[in-house]
Amino acid sequence: MTKQGSHHSARALTVVRTAEREGVAMPKPQETAVYTHGHHESVLRSHTWRTAANSAAYLLGSLKPHMKILDIGCGPGTITADLAALVPDGHVTGVDHAPGILDRARATAAERGLANVDFAVADVHALDHPDDTFCVVHAHQVLQHVGDPVQALREMRRVTKPGGFIAVRDSDYAAMTWYPQVPGLDDWLDLYRRVARANGGEPDAGRRLKSWALAAGLTDITATSSTWTFATSQERAWWSALWADRTVDSAYADRATEAGHATAGQLRAVSEAWREWGQREDGWFAVLHGEILCRKQG
């Protein structure tokens, strides 16, 4: 076993022993939560659109040029790269549980000429970093997909320096709303929530972030919310097309059919509902996100 592997195993064992000693439930390994979306092109179409401005605005006022940041669940690295540009005298490490997506993230950083960023594979339940390492630990759209969000937040707190920030933003599917009420989109929402929960995740994570943070031992918590809104013809076309494609072509579609949540015909009907909504001139869709910005006490 490598030194890095030994450290990771020792860290995981410490988590186990601490949980046993304190009489708390053992964290579920991330393998018990399957990433619902996968990395199909229709998913990356959405993920590469994300920026620090449209997805982490609640955090930006707390950043300083010298900060060292850990970006968990970095995906294709667009938010990671934005954060690196905002801390020119600091450093950003982007981590993801899926090794394949990190090449895309490295390419994103290279295209922007960023030298203060690196990427690695990681499990948020047992991070391979010493205590008190980072000024900011950030996670966007991550906790809704993991096996144990409270344990994830404990690990995020552990690797944050005293006085540093834990910043988390997650959408809340049950709070998403749209107009007009095209038949089929209610079916989409019901299906997505069932598939996500069967995969071990929590699709309505946004409303739970503060509760999870308190359970993880965080006390200085600022809880806010913000939205993405898709209403122009271009926004509707983009948002509806990526969900129409994702519904029939992505790993989400495979998991929905293989687990018996929907037939291929039902998925096609949902996909067509998305395309119908996208063509409506009066169409409007809002995605609510919960946010927490937690200051680690010394």
From the CA atom positions of the chain, what is the Rg in Å? 19
Contact 108, 75 (CB under 8 A): no
Angle between the N-to-C axes of helices 233-249 and 264-278, in degrees from 0 to 180, rounded to the nearest 10: 170
> In whole angstroms, what is the distance from residue 207 CA to residue 191 CA?
20
Q: Which two tokens stand for residue 97?
A: 């549980």
Is 113 in a helix, a strand, or coil? coil
* Residue 138 bridge partners (DSSP): 71, 167
Which of 34-70 are b and which e, b meaning 16 or more Cβ less than 10 Å from the residue's Cβ? bbbbbbbebbbebbeebebeebbebbeeebeeebbbb
Q: Considering only CA atoms, which of 199, 147, 141 is closest in space to residue 173?
A: 141
- pLDDT mean by block of 10 residues, the chain; 298 residues: 38 36 38 65 80 98 98 97 98 96 97 98 96 98 97 98 98 98 96 95 98 98 98 98 93 92 97 98 98 95
pLDDT of residue 152: 98
Q: What is the dihedral of CA 236, 107, 56, 192, to 10 degrees?
A: 50
CA of 60: how far to CAs of 63, 177, 182, 287, in Å?
5, 27, 37, 20
pLDDT of 34: 76
- 95 forms beta bridges with 72, 120
Q: Could you give the residue ranges of the DSSP H alpha helices within the chain?
A: 3-22, 41-47, 52-55, 57-60, 78-86, 101-111, 149-158, 185-198, 209-215, 233-249, 251-258, 264-278
Closest to 294 in 3D by CA, of 206, 219, 212, 226: 219
